Amino acid sequence: MNSMKLFVICAFGVVITTGCASSSKSPAVAAAQPGVQSGKVTAVESVAVVDQSVATTSSGSSAVVTTASGGPEALTVLFADGSQQRYIIERPTTAFKVGEPVNVITNGERITIVAPK
């Protein structure tokens, strides 16, 4: 498994997934649940969406115009076993901070990242 494989995920403040409806407040207990890994945020990045187009003037001259706009958020998590994983969050609902503990919950192909309370 590629440790830098990108996953498309949604982050929710409240987790409602099979087996995790009553998530634990303790990261150690939460990590003991199947499909739950505890880690710490090591990087939060904005992923820019870059668009290029050609602009042509009335005199026939043209130029390439490049624009960048804010896009999804990239979150890097360091797990207790020393492995790191980078996640792309398309629709962030929670602002994560570097150093903050998180639980990464995998349920099939769906991945949810939450901050333990």
List pLDDT tens digits, range 34-63.
789 999 999 998 876 666 677 776 677 777
Q: Rounded to an integer, what distance in angstroms lies between the CA atom of residue 95 and that of residue 97?
A: 7
User: d(Cα 78, Cα 101) in Å, to the nearest integer?
Assistant: 9
Q: Give the torsion sign (CA, 85, 90, 93, 97).
A: positive
Put residue 28 in one of left, alpha, beta given phi > 0 → left and psi -120 to 50 → alpha.
Answer: alpha
Q: Do the domain assignments include residue 20?
A: yes
Domain that holds residue 11: 7-50+63-114
3-state helix, strand, coil in the chain (%, to 5): 5, 50, 45
Q: Is residue 56 part of a domain?
A: no
CATH code assigned at 73: 2.40.50.100
Answer yes or no: is 2 within a domain.
no
* Exposed / middle / buried, residue 116 (Cβ in 10 Å: 0-12, 13-18, 19+): middle
Residue 41 covered by a domain: yes
Write down the pTM of the prediction.
0.54
Cα separation, 16 vs 2, in Å, equals 28
Q: Which two tokens stand for residue 11?
A: 């982050």
Reported as a single tens digit per residue, the pLDDT across 57-90 is 667 777 777 665 566 788 999 999 999 999 988 8
Residue 1 lies in a domain: no
Q: What is the C-alpha radius of gyration for the chain, rounded to an integer number of angstroms?
A: 19
The tally of domains found in the chain comes to 1
